[in-house]
Structure 1
């Protein structure tokens, strides 16, 4: 790991802290500005605005060497901010490295649209792909942070609806426990340059809107039955307050007989693969994620 690279990103993330006194719209604008400043979108992709059902979406395609396969990508933002455009460093990185196309829906956000609106929208996006005749064996769910959590909860919702499950799940630093009971929530306090228990309280309250977090669609790391799930890749950093969301989901997957890879990288921040191009570990992590997807999707 480059200490200089890591230190630069650490300083930038600490300076970009969202403010609980600001409105959701102000924090959304702040996240968009942060990602735009980093200029992390890779070359070699083309983007087209489209729709999935009644939701806006962004189609991301490789300029060269396309391959059959679709990544349904769910952006992060604690369910209150973020967009397909803000996640293009990750979506585009996966597209360039795999040759698969990606579709990223703009699911509804809290507080205007609390739980389970986001899951309803991501499930609806998956239904559209199936109704178009796409083979679920050629579809993967991927996402970061809150979107990483949606890869799992959308799969739970699809199973409950009797739909065939996708071929694979890739989750970058997923949020998988609205009860916030992981030991890393406190053990990594101050070490994580971006998230903290206190910082997560306002968006969590907006998303929950008074609902009990002890539900599998809100806290799959501690409550979900993952029986029958497709292979899962979880990528997370040791400095994250959400570290134990991934470690506990991996244990649940293993106990349910699901193929799971828990890919933990030392000394990196939340959603670190989004820093591909400026952090060596991010490029390496995306390479591993691309290899996993290439191995799992039907060709």
Structure 2
């Protein structure tokens, strides 16, 4: 395991690429490139703001504090109950927030939620407001985990934090009023990547059976933006190649796109997908992750995993969080909610 070095990570993020691959995105590097015509009309008002904050390959360790401050989000919802889980050997306690608890009888489904932030930013506490709304809509318990961020804690630390939370949810199902047969994992962006890793780990370890995984524009492949380039407008807005290289390099503790990442750290590079739970994947057509998400869905289908794929035309990364009131965002959130409701109703 490599220790975190700010200078090293900055160097990785700025590393040159093969000239032939770099030529693919030459148009995006040209001054005045405008992605607006490719953006869904309801999302176009947000393009100037996104262009203002475009990293342009400058995401590095020095820029990380500003990023974390910017995406810190809302304070914890008062309805979210914080719980500090007992620490594992050599690791600190893991904090989770529990939403949707009730005193009435019976058992309900549950979701283990993992927040996004490129593996390097974000917080569970800031997600609790919208998760409370989701818990109410689904009549479900939601546990969201405050996993340790990279680069301070590279893989496998963040995954093990999430797995600790999943084990706690499963083992304490009776106290939480949860049906152990109806537990799903869910995440957005890097949280979707960790949710996918979590589903793979749960399958391989055989301790917690999962009913479903909801992967919202998940961050699945460290090669995107490193050894595999994308052409604009894909990946030009909200989360670009430079940010992705830095996020993955921070998470892996080594340069993104290497030949042999740590086993289980990159879902797109896990060879066997058979035996994973039924899956929902939703992504925008100009999201940096669109190709890796489409490919992961294809591989799940080929592995006989029931899979629902939603591709949103003209949507960039994180669009429904950036423009939550847009009709396209409301439809997307409804599709996510319906996929979970169908899974909990056992309609697959």
TM-score bin, normalised by smaller chain: 0.7 to 0.9
Question: 158-167 or 20-29: which moved more?
Answer: 20-29
Query: The residue matched to 2:100 in structure 1 has which SS?
Result: strand
1:163–1:124 CA distance, 2 compared to 1 (3 A): same
1:176 to 203, 220, 223: 220
Distance 2:210 2:331 in 1: 25
Distance 2:181 2:318 in 1: 26
1:15–1:67 CA distance, 2 compared to 1 (3 A): farther
1:178–1:191 CA distance, 2 compared to 1 (3 A): closer
What does residue 51 of structure 1 align with?
84
Correspondences of 1:9-48 after superposition (within 5 Å): 9-17=46-54, 20-21=59-60, 22-32=62-72, 35-36=73-74, 46-48=79-81
Q: Deviations over 1:76-132 (max 9, x none)?
A: 111111101333465345324322221111001111100111111111111111211
What does residue 243 of structure 1 align with?
290
Q: CA deviation at 1:56?
A: 1.3
- Say if 1:184 and 1:244, in contact at 8 Å, map to a contact too: no
Would you say 1:164 and 2:208 are equivalent positions?
yes
Would you say 1:281 and 2:321 are equivalent positions?
no
Q: CA deviation at 1:159?
A: 1.7
Distance 2:339 2:229 in 1: 28
Distance 2:252 2:206 in 1: 26
Distance 2:316 2:133 in 1: 18
Is there any run of 5+ residues in structure 1 with no aligned partner, and where?
A: none
Q: Deviations over 1:211-236 (max 9, x none)?
A: 75545523222434111111100010
Q: CA deviation at 1:67?
A: 7.8
Query: The residue matched to 1:138 in structure 2 has which SS?
Result: strand
Q: Deviations over 1:259-284 (max 9, x none)?
A: 00110001112123324642211111
Question: 277-286 or 238-247: which moved more?
Answer: 277-286
Would you say 1:95 and 2:135 are equivalent positions?
yes
Question: 283-292 or 48-57: which moved more?
Answer: 48-57
What does residue 86 of structure 1 align with?
126
Q: Deviations over 1:191-212 (max 9, x none)?
A: 6311111222222221111275
- Rg bigger for which structure? 2
What does residue 228 of structure 1 align with?
275
Distance 1:271 1:245 in 2: 16
Aligned length: 290
1:280–1:116 CA distance, 2 compared to 1 (3 A): same
Question: 112-121 or 21-30: which moved more?
Answer: 21-30
Distance 1:90 1:16 in 2: 24
- Say if 2:187 and 2:195, in contact at 8 Å, map to a contact too: yes
Query: The residue matched to 1:200 in structure 2 has which SS?
Result: helix
Q: CA RMSD in A?
A: 3.1
What TM-score results when the alignment is normalised by the length of structure 1? 0.85
What TM-score results when the alignment is normalised by the length of structure 2? 0.74
Is there any run of 5+ residues in structure 2 with no aligned partner, and where?
A: 1-38, 87-92
Would you say 1:149 and 2:186 are equivalent positions?
no
Distance 2:190 2:283 in 1: 13
Query: The residue matched to 1:71 in structure 2 has which SS?
Result: strand
Distance 1:101 1:273 in 2: 23
- Say if 1:143 and 1:172, in contact at 8 Å, map to a contact too: yes
1:130 to 149, 160, 170: 170
1:262–1:27 CA distance, 2 compared to 1 (3 A): same
Q: CA deviation at 1:163?
A: 1.6
Distance 1:158 1:23 in 2: 35
Question: 45-54 or 119-128: which moved more?
Answer: 45-54
- Say if 2:188 and 2:216, in contact at 8 Å, map to a contact too: yes
1:242–1:120 CA distance, 2 compared to 1 (3 A): same
